[in-house]
Structure 1
């Protein structure tokens, strides 16, 4: 059976090859009726574009890879999910295909199953990377090979990379000061793995605020699940007089809520809980969770715009965008 070409689609629809091409590439300024007719013929004749050949012709694949740290099988939390959805929608609206790849800054180069190899082979135009670690092998390779990429988070190793990040030092600092100003005197901060820059920055801000005010405080790294938060909260409330928990990741606050109630304590009368992320679900916890907002829409806008600018600009001038956090007050503090 003869393979259908774009010329065949043009003849069958009565439109020019240029118009058919615009529909295939989801270009704007095509009448909806025209688009519908061409897409119908494309579907009826099972026409598909040879993406590799197209990329070789145009020196552009219109493909972006989103890298998420593997997290030992736990690819992302709820905030990552919201960010990914927002970034993917924005890239699609700009005419880009998106590939999501669990990845690792420690072993990517030697792992053939990692989507990173699409970039090495020229089958993608650029990348957005989450969860960068110190001495990340992906950052080193992409810099050396002049492949456009941006980081969600801070790069502590190089001065010529581009990233979009929340001011995570300020997250820790304003969170601690907010709890201290509300009268809490023994505050515990739960964070994810220490290997990630974001967690070390938040801890630094938190500890400096607590030391400034002479408040008793503790930092616990590597507590990344609801169950882990639940068990650690139970343990701490059994042997210490903790009156506030500061939790990196709103969804994990559910574990603290349950442990506090099982101890016969009330939120916030006996123990306060402050989250980070301001997830939509936080408003529906009981009591509604006070949280530090990361502004997913602004975050994703900046990331997509910056990457597209880098992919199309001859001048590879690094840009570093730092967003300011804000506290969304509800009823848990």
Structure 2
């Protein structure tokens, strides 16, 4: 069995990946997570007695810790999910995003470079560093622009997107300069179980269930391509196993939706699943709020490369995926209660204030 070092494996996408791969017994996983507000140890509760899931509480910026983990466990791959990832938070506190996404990735790469350089020839050939990135590095599209491809120039518009673009460039540079065998995936917006409640879809689901306002920035016509998290995780594994060293792969759900369309579907599903709720019809809770600075109008991903070369495409339609997601939050109130900390509630009030 292979051993993988997964960073950020208690976050939304990372924990879904870890759970999926441990169900498949794909590898022994060393899971390094700092457990910031978005990292949730409850996501991994089912793995509590799994000897091939080793959780380590710590930071990718702690070079001594990373060096020790690499030396002790000798992984065949490092899969780098760890990141600050919320655009609104990056506008409020950009320094945190630079520290984690840029400086943290640099420190991780330095330790990986030294570890990889000391491997045997065959071990070096089989090692991979996989960077998990975002479509936001490409900037914004007009309504009729073609979807982003892997050759679209980077043009980030938020501190979050800029920090991820910088980390992507560092990863690529460590391949070109030092020969570290890297792969990069750039994904569209993810949704599904275990997503922290401040993100758009779970925020709308949970606010609707509580009869609170559903805040939509601007006119609600910003467009995102939505990717169900299980599909994303399968693509990550495929790229790790069969991707070409030094290449990047765009991952998307082929599901462009305006924010208003997303919320409308959530409201319709909730009306059907909880028909006796006090807030039915939930659509009446929608409230348009002033737009955030630098709000990208549209993202869309061309996934032709990974489809042609590796045979991947998403399995989940947006509607089926959003039904599953709504049902998951309805069925897991204890999880929601545990993650909705005082810090999270304080952030919501700071971000939206009296608008809610």
Short-chain TM bin: 0.3 to 0.5
Q: Greater CA radius of gyration, 1 or 2?
A: 1
How high is the TM-score relative to the length of structure 2? 0.36
How high is the TM-score relative to the length of structure 1? 0.38
